[in-house]
Amino acid sequence: MVTHASDASHVPPPGDDLADKIAEKVNANLLQDAYGLLKSGTNNVFSGSDADGDGVVDINRNRNTDVPMITSERNEYMQRLSQELQQKCPGALEKLSASWMNDYYHKEILDKNGKPTREFSVDEVTAEAQRGSGIDKVMANASLKDLKNVAAFTGKPDVIDQIDIYKNLARVAAEPRDAFAKRVMDNVACLAETNLGQAYATLKSELGKRHSYETPSEIGADEKALVDALKANPKLEAQLAMVWLQKGSTDMTDPYKGGVTLEKLKNHSNEDYVDALLNKFVIDNFGVIGSSSLQNSRDDVITPDEIPNYIRRVKNK
């Protein structure tokens, strides 16, 4: 058995450009690949350098002469690598912790048939962060910042299950909020040229898909980003407001007055910030929209025929 004294001089620096390779994968949103590099690079650490450039530290690939690191040295190596990675790609460790959690769950919680042998608790992750070693310690620490949110996806704030884990994987891999808002609004604006109904449906569908794996605060931030983008396009805002009004007018129509009243609009319960914006547009422009028909001389309701009339007016501006 090969033994040696453990000291800082014996522990090699992170393997050449391993941190760069991992950062490159993270920046390309290839998070599973990045985690695979991190895991293989730290699970195969020997006292030497990355001579063949494969992301694994070695001397000459001769396992008979390579000296494997002991636990304390492996921990120090991982600490150095994680610090370098965080400097080169801030936030990388937090993103990769989602893949680690999935890996840990399959390795430590599930049996060979894929059945849980015990609950995976928030306390267990906390314990790994405090008393674990190597990659488990670093990744558990990285996950602590958002752990309560992850565990709360399925309503058990102290337990992490597979649904929590899968939602978190989707969440960390999601496109940045600004890019999401721009992509969605560009698509909606394009669809609005030919089919306003489809444009509104696409807007709601994109929000719904993203909402399925986000926390309440993130959901609100997404909606506000789309609201800001919609405000920047007044014509599209007006058109979508009419689609929203058409879809909700059954609930808001006063049976005694044959149209949507201002009172109903003000008391309407909106589904999200986007619908709230469209509702507000109709309220703010109630008088103009409600005078879009020669057949309706009343100013206290918006009748069904006034909605398409107003859409045509906006489109022709």
Q: Would you state the torsion angle of the CA atoms of residues 124, 127, 132, 135, taken in this order, to the nearest 10 degrees?
A: 60
pLDDT for residue 215: 87
- What lies within 8 Å, CB to CB, of 253 at 6+ separation is 259, 260, 264
pLDDT for residue 40: 79
Among 29, 56, 90, residue at a domain's last position: 90
Among 151, 173, 195, residue at a domain's last position: 173
pLDDT for residue 297: 60
Q: What is the pLDDT of residues 201-232, one digit of tens each?
A: 999 999 999 999 998 889 999 999 999 999 99
Q: What is the pLDDT of residues 9-18, one digit of tens each?
A: 334 444 458 8
For residues 282 and 157, membership in a common domain is answered with no
For residues 163 and 293, membership in a common domain is answered with no
For residues 129 and 181, membership in a common domain is answered with no
For residues 242 and 215, membership in a common domain is answered with yes
Residue ranges making up the domain that contains 65: 1-90
pLDDT for residue 10: 38
pLDDT for residue 3: 30
**Phi, psi values for residue 113, rounded to 5°:** -95, 5
Amino acid identity, position 280: K
Q: Domain count of the chain? A: 3
**Alpha-carbon span 145 to 50, nearest angstrom:** 33
For residues 86 and 44, membership in a common domain is answered with yes
Please list the ranges in the chain whose pLDDT falls under 50.
1-15, 45, 47, 57-65
* Closest to 5 measured CA to CA, from 88, 73, 53, 101: 73
User: What's the mean per-residue pLDDT of the chain?
Assistant: 83
For residues 106 and 64, membership in a common domain is answered with no
For residues 309 and 187, membership in a common domain is answered with yes
**Alpha-carbon span 299 to 303, nearest angstrom:** 10
For residues 224 and 272, membership in a common domain is answered with yes
DSSP state of 46: B
Q: H/E element holding 198?
A: helix 196-211
* Closest to 260 measured CA to CA, from 227, 296, 314: 296
Among 103, 138, 173, residue at a domain's last position: 173
For residues 139 and 18, membership in a common domain is answered with no
For residues 103 and 3, membership in a common domain is answered with no
